[in-house]
Structure 1
Amino acid sequence: MEFSIKSGSPEKQRSACVVVGVFEPRKLTLAAELLDNAAHNHLSDIIRRGDMEGKAGSTLLLHNVPGTLCDRVLLVGLGKEKEFGDKAYCDAIRSAVRTLNETGSFDGTVFLTETSVRKRSSAWRVRQATMVAQETVYRFDQFKSKKDKVRRPLRKLTFVIDRRNELAAAEEALHQGQAIAEGMALAKNLANLPGNVCTPAFLAETAQKMASEHKLECQILERDEMTALGMHSLLSVAKGSQQPPKLIVLQHKGGKNDDKPVVLVGKGITFDSGGISLKPAPEMDEMKYDMCGAASVLGTIKAAALMKLPINLTVIVPSSENMPGGAATRPGDIVTSMSGQTIEILNTDAEGRLILCDALTYAARFQPETVIDIATLTGACVIALGHVATGLFANNEALARELVHAGDDAHDRAWQMPLWDDYQELLKSPFADMANIGGRWGGSITAACFLARFTRKYVWAHLDIAGTAWKSGTDKGATGRPVPLLMHYLLKRAGKLD
């Protein structure tokens, strides 16, 4: 989709459709009032008759509105003005774009970006609208022999801002929003692929193609190299699979040579059967999403490269399948991690932490400024936070606050959870330095505590995205989260956010 920014009056727009908002109850926004004045109260007459109350999510499409140069006017309900915040704004953009895409309007001129949102700038509104618009028209149908084609798909959106002196900032925000949306699309495409296509080798090939396209540095470590490094924890997960494991390293060097990099580590289990500790059959197909951490960090580095972000960013993806088999790791096996610490594997379905701990140890060689790992790690996090917030754990309060604020800015929120030493007691093993599970209670916390044992050399945070990385049911599919959170964090660090 093509995007542009402009400033102007709604009645003068030559467009297939002009989009304006209506607050509840029946209150026109400023742009809608200007249209109404030009149309000799045509809009207010329709609203007075009860066709549009302004309820959030509602839409009303009008044709041949007098006094205007556009083909159509789309009224979008914004809900109560006092309650119009981030979520309501994003929902309004989503409703507008969905309606435009379904009604045959090749292009739309959106005045919702003029509408004030509490504590948000014009640049924020444009950036968010761009991301939401791309997300709304996203489709994953490459495996369907007969695709459901949109008859006249939306091809161009123009976002209108009310102040000409903010055009430059809005243009930059538009570019940022497009890059983040492309990163999200890559993350969703990778995650939505079936496990028989998206293997560790496929992820490695994808990384190599990205390196060539975006001038990144790429390194792929094979099984022999991981063995030489002592990554026996990671390799134990791959033992039951015929697919060879990969350790993928991508680097975007946009900063100064002596700038320490931000390192992102993404869990890349391309299919998780649970191994010998086999998962129940219902919804096991969704375990192709166990590489959403990997998909999100690949999407993030793509967005950073598209923006030419002036920072050094390193992405590490430990990737494997977790399958049962004659050679698979058994419950009770003990392995030695790259750090030298030994692990008693009590449950082979707690495999994500086994591949991450070696990748986190490996991350230290890059002398990082910060390290953030992203993983669909625990069902316990879904029980704790549902599908709204990502679980956030950190060994540094300043980093935790930065990530929470980035999530709020991106409307891709995270909630900080405790990482107290009290929970470390639950990981005790009589036979090894630690067990890989800590029992039923506080499962997301004990998983984070496990990872914390491998991150003492640097500032670190862990994002548990088990509840936010994909949706089930009729809307089944990857969400692309937390690419927006990560990119807002990086943009802030690079001094590129308003």
Structure 2
Amino acid sequence: MDIEFNSGSTINEIQGDALILIISESELEHGGLSEGWNDRISLLGKTGLFSGKLNQTYVLPLDNPSGCPVAILVGKGDQLLTTEDLRQMAVQTARAALRLKAIKLVFKVSENIQELTVGKDILSIAYALSEGLLLGSYRRPTYKQEQSQYNGPNSVIFTIEKKSADAVERDWNLGIQRGLAFGEATNLARNLTNMPGNLLTPSDLAVAAIEVAERYRFPSEVLDERAVGKGSVNPPRMIVIRYQGTGHWDNVVGLVGKGITFDTGGISLKRAPGMEELISDMGGAAAVLGVMEALGRLRPRINVVMVIPSAENMPSANAFKPGDIITSMSGRTIEVLNTDAEGRLVLGDALTYAREWGAKRIIDVATLTGAVLSTLGDIATGAVTNNEEFMERFLAASNVSGEKIWQLPAYPEFREMLKSEVADIRNAAGRFGGATTAGLFVGEFAEGLPWIHLDIAGTAFLSKERGVNPRGATGVMVRSMVQWLLSESE
């Protein structure tokens, strides 16, 4: 999507498929809009078709001479708008545009837009609106014989009729750049996560990762990995991309994403109902790849090594069996009690490899446990950490992005549950505290480095549209991780 800022032109001078107007409840009731709009807008209120409440939309045909045939009215309520309010308004606007099959949008911005928001910051306003338009315009790819020729809006012009100062234009353009980066990165993660397992094997995921690396000239490598995928005809891969934003390769952040491209559970076979959604078991890998896409666009002053351990977890004569003892890359021996607890095995090796590349802080993101769904549903991502200061800074970033995270306790008693009589550690600790013990298993391989585990099993793939997220893959945690990296780079 192309998004640009324009000032000094009237809305009638700009051609488009839909004009977007933000309308408050009080404007609807008492007027205050520009000449020619008050009567037609107030009539909508009187008939109950549009009230101006936050996030409400209404499509109004335009009969007067105009650059656009229809207007999309977007309600803002009467309160000061937060960044999240702006983002959600833009999402609803984009979805209305999708229903209209609009391609070019003209977004009329009030000259006093700053006074309508809590932060009063132009860059944040431009960022939230641009990001929301990208997120709301997303459509899940389909594989039907007859494909629609319409691919969603591809052009947006934010326009203010009064000529803006140079500083205001600069902030608008910077905000748009950031919003585009966040939105495109999230949509990349959504596309990958939505791909069926027969079209996205570990080697296919490696190809997608190399495409991102080559697009931005990032160093990368793909290793064959002896791992959970022994039962699959599609061999595992360990995928590494490095981003160097400073003069020296130091203070490196490790981002690790679980890349199980399909998870049957292996010998500990899952139940059939709902198994088709396990195409999303590489949602963590998609998220960290989305982050690399954003880093390529924004180029912050920070160093990152991204590691994706990828495999298919399938049952066969070669597959791991319950009771097997395996040796991890770190040298730790692991008692495999449940082959469906496979993600933590590959993540452990990936954390070890991230440390070998110099990572001093590590975030792993994974669709790791069903247990997190029992605790948080599909509303919030579960988090486990060994460093409270690290966690606090990450939570602050997630508040900006609007993504919900809930920190789970990591008491020593949970670690005790992972002890094995015959190996250094076991990969399952029973039903109770499952989201925490799974996270702590992964954390053992951080070797004491500051570490955060993000369990997105509930939030990576939704059964119905909610908020900024569509049905299917959400690209969750891309925006929080990018926001945190930007805050650290500053």
The TM-score normalised by the length of structure 2 is 0.90
Q: Per the alignment, in what secondary structure is the counterpart of residue 417 of structure 2?
A: helix
Report Cα offsets for 1:33-58 as digits up to 9, x if no partner.
333x3546442344344332223443
2:42 equivalent among 41, 44, 65? 44
After superposition, the Cα gap between the structure-2 partners of 1:332 and 1:222, relative to the gap in structure 1 and judged at 3 Å, is same
Letter in 2 for 1:101: L
Task: Give 1:392 shift.
Answer: 1.6
Q: Separation in 2 of the partners of 1:9 and 1:75?
A: 20
User: Could you tell me whether the CA contact under 8 Å between 2:250 and 2:358 is conserved in 1?
Assistant: no
Describe how 1:423-442 pairs up with structure 2 within 5 A.
423-442=414-433
Q: Separation in 2 of the partners of 1:160 and 1:390?
A: 37
User: Could you tell me whether the CA contact under 8 Å between 1:11 and 1:67 is conserved in 2?
Assistant: no
Describe how 1:331-370 pairs up with structure 2 within 5 A.
331-370=322-361
Q: Per the alignment, in what secondary structure is the counterpart of residue 82 of structure 1?
A: coil
After superposition, the Cα gap between the structure-2 partners of 1:431 and 1:69, relative to the gap in structure 1 and judged at 3 Å, is closer
Letter in 2 for 1:401: E
Q: Separation in 1 of the partners of 2:360 and 2:290?
A: 21
Q: Per the alignment, in what secondary structure is the counterpart of residue 128 of structure 1?
A: helix
After superposition, the Cα gap between the structure-2 partners of 1:69 and 1:356, relative to the gap in structure 1 and judged at 3 Å, is closer
Choose 352-361 or 90-99, whichever is displaced more: 90-99
Choose 376-385 or 133-142, whichever is displaced more: 133-142
Task: Give 1:97 shift.
Answer: 1.7
Structure 2 unmatched runs, 5+: none
State the match for 1:122 in structure 2.
122
State the match for 2:482 in structure 1.
487
Q: Per the alignment, in what secondary structure is the counterpart of residue 239 of structure 1?
A: helix
Report Cα offsets for 1:339-386 as digits up to 9, x if no partner.
222211111111110111111112111222311111000111122122
User: Could you tell me whether the CA contact under 8 Å between 2:57 and 2:75 is conserved in 1?
Assistant: yes
Describe how 1:267-416 pairs up with structure 2 within 5 A.
267-416=258-407
Q: Detail structure 1 runs of 4+ shifted over 6 Å in the superposition.
A: none
Residue 76 of structure 2 is aligned to residue 74 of structure 1: no
Task: Give 1:126 shift.
Answer: 1.8
Q: Per the alignment, in what secondary structure is the counterpart of residue 58 of structure 2?
A: strand
State the match for 2:158 in structure 1.
159
User: Could you tell me whether the CA contact under 8 Å between 2:141 and 2:191 is conserved in 1?
Assistant: no
Q: Separation in 1 of the partners of 2:152 and 2:381?
A: 33
Q: Per the alignment, in what secondary structure is the counterpart of residue 321 of structure 1?
A: strand
State the match for 1:232 in structure 2.
none
Letter in 2 for 1:494: S
Q: Separation in 1 of the partners of 2:152 and 2:357?
A: 46
Letter in 2 for 1:140: R
Task: Give 1:15 shift.
Answer: 4.1
State the match for 1:262 in structure 2.
253
State the match for 1:108 in structure 2.
105
User: Could you tell me whether the CA contact under 8 Å between 2:84 and 2:128 is conserved in 1?
Assistant: no
2:235 equivalent among 204, 222, 244? 244
User: Could you tell me whether the CA contact under 8 Å between 2:123 and 2:172 is conserved in 1?
Assistant: yes
Residue 140 of structure 2 is aligned to residue 140 of structure 1: yes
Q: Separation in 1 of the partners of 2:79 and 2:401?
A: 21
Choose 402-411 or 85-94, whichever is displaced more: 85-94
Report Cα offsets for 1:280-316 as digits up to 9, x if no partner.
0001011111111111111111110122233221110
Report Cα offsets for 1:100-154 as digits up to 9, x if no partner.
233354422224683733346332222122222122222233522112343x953
Letter in 2 for 1:216: F
Choose 3-12 or 321-330, whichever is displaced more: 3-12
State the match for 1:229 in structure 2.
none
Q: Per the alignment, in what secondary structure is the counterpart of residue 24 of structure 2?
A: strand
User: Could you tell me whether the CA contact under 8 Å between 1:337 and 1:357 is conserved in 2?
Assistant: yes
User: Could you tell me whether the CA contact under 8 Å between 1:268 and 1:317 is conserved in 2?
Assistant: yes
State the match for 1:472 in structure 2.
463
Q: Separation in 2 of the partners of 1:105 and 1:478?
A: 24
After superposition, the Cα gap between the structure-2 partners of 1:438 and 1:29, relative to the gap in structure 1 and judged at 3 Å, is farther
Q: Separation in 2 of the partners of 1:69 and 1:39?
A: 15
User: Could you tell me whether the CA contact under 8 Å between 1:20 and 1:29 is conserved in 2?
Assistant: no
2:96 equivalent among 91, 96, 99? 99
User: Could you tell me whether the CA contact under 8 Å between 1:403 and 1:414 is conserved in 2?
Assistant: no
Alignment length, in residue pairs? 479
Report Cα offsets for 1:418-457 as digits up to 9, x if no partner.
2221211111222222211111111110111112211124
Q: Separation in 2 of the partners of 1:258 and 1:350?
A: 34
User: Could you tell me whether the CA contact under 8 Å between 1:393 and 1:419 is conserved in 2?
Assistant: yes
Q: Per the alignment, in what secondary structure is the counterpart of residue 317 of structure 1?
A: strand
Identity %: 35
Q: Separation in 2 of the partners of 1:274 and 1:54?
A: 49
Q: Per the alignment, in what secondary structure is the counterpart of residue 271 of structure 1?
A: strand
Q: Separation in 2 of the partners of 1:67 and 1:141?
A: 37
Task: Give 1:13 shift.
Answer: 5.5
After superposition, the Cα gap between the structure-2 partners of 1:285 and 1:105, relative to the gap in structure 1 and judged at 3 Å, is closer
Q: Per the alignment, in what secondary structure is the counterpart of residue 133 of structure 1?
A: helix
After superposition, the Cα gap between the structure-2 partners of 1:479 and 1:112, relative to the gap in structure 1 and judged at 3 Å, is farther
Letter in 2 for 1:316: V
Q: Separation in 2 of the partners of 1:341 and 1:493?
A: 32
Q: Per the alignment, in what secondary structure is the counterpart of residue 355 of structure 1?
A: helix
State the match for 2:198 in structure 1.
196
Structure 1 unmatched runs, 5+: 227-234
Q: Separation in 2 of the partners of 1:272 and 1:29?
A: 55
Task: Give 1:415 shift.
Answer: 1.9
Q: Separation in 2 of the partners of 1:186 and 1:298?
A: 8
The TM-score normalised by the length of structure 1 is 0.89
Choose 6-15 or 139-148, whichever is displaced more: 6-15
Choose 297-306 or 363-372, whichever is displaced more: 363-372
User: Could you tell me whether the CA contact under 8 Å between 1:222 and 1:246 is conserved in 2?
Assistant: yes
CA RMSD of aligned residues (A): 2.6
User: Could you tell me whether the CA contact under 8 Å between 2:90 and 2:130 is conserved in 1?
Assistant: no
